[in-house]
Structure 1
């Protein structure tokens, strides 16, 4: 009597999920995704991608320089030719944050940017003469930006400022100010 050939079991979906969970718990996956993301930047420190899906998206024809920072799923960076994006040390960009640079967007160090924030230095549509209206955006150090805030072209936000959730920032915000609203206005200085 011949013995039946026994084939190894095919791993089930649960096996992949266990591997994924182990990678996430160990922190290895966050660093591997960070290494993958670095290839899109001209200059990059340690980048950690916290989360699994959707992966951050980068369209870079300009210059993007990123120091040690964390990206969450769905972050999108778009930098056209001749433009630049700089992101300082210790800054984190939460889920679905979008940064669009047609000239320059500069974010300082230790900034906390909540989910679904939009930062853009242009109206992103041409004027009747074919030109884009653009102006640089500068965000200082240790700035907190609340969820779903929008930072528009030509804005400078000073160090240690706080921008409330859902705000639309159309004018400069001084250092140590708390601003909120549509359009954002200064509520108080700290």
Structure 2
């Protein structure tokens, strides 16, 4: 079946706020919040002002991209590192004492490859408490990561991760060859 992107409607997707609020958020997040000189207290206050549920002691570093703050919840004393991208077309819930390291992508959005117009196939992401998602890992839509789990650097997570589990990226080719 041929795909017609021109026919895409986004049917069923709710952005959660009026266009004016969306535009204001995109402006504030780009012009102020992503800058290195913006203090964490201002980042957190602005996220809360736009509807994010942020616990006490949360650290959100510069360069963090959050698509819709009103679809974000972060528990107490969690860290979100530089250049993290939370593409939360659907809710993203992050527990307490959780570290989302540099360059991580949490992506709730996708498309239905069987749809002739490539419609959305989105689902929320839940990250438990005391979780570490290491640098440049990617977590895709519909995934739940249990408490105390660790996701290693550059890992791709497409299925739920049990509490306490460790998920690592496959070893690179040069690490599997014999040493001389």
When the two structures are superposed, what TM-score results if normalisation uses the length of structure 2? 0.65
Contact 2:155–2:168, Cα closer than 8 Å, also in 1: yes
When the two structures are superposed, what TM-score results if normalisation uses the length of structure 1? 0.62
Pick aligned residue for 2:145 from 139, 152, 157: 157
Contact 2:108–2:140, Cα closer than 8 Å, also in 1: yes
Give ranges in structure 2 of 5+ residues lacking alignment.
1-36, 171-180
Within a 5 Å distance, the mapping from 1:125-164 to structure 2 comes to 128-129=116-117, 131-164=119-152
Write out the 4+ residue segments of structure 1 that deviate beyond 6 Å after TM superposition: none
Report the Cα distance in structure 2 between the residues aligned to 1:36 and 1:75, rounded to whole angstroms: 10
- State the number of aligned residues: 132
Within a 5 Å distance, the mapping from 1:95-134 to structure 2 comes to 95-123=82-110, 128-129=116-117, 131-134=119-122
TM-align CA RMSD = 2.4
2:48 match:
41
Give ranges in structure 1 of 5+ residues lacking alignment.
1-28, 43-59, 183-190
Larger RCO: 1 or 2 (CA < 8 Å, sep 6+): 2
Report the Cα distance in structure 2 between the residues aligned to 1:41 and 1:100, rounded to whole angstroms: 17
Report the Cα distance in structure 1 between the residues aligned to 2:111 and 2:76, rounded to whole angstroms: 28
- Could you say what secondary structure the match of 2:83 adopts? coil
Shift of 1:41: 2.1
Report the Cα distance in structure 2 between the residues aligned to 1:72 and 1:36, rounded to whole angstroms: 8
Query: Could you say which structure has the higher strand fraction?
Result: 1
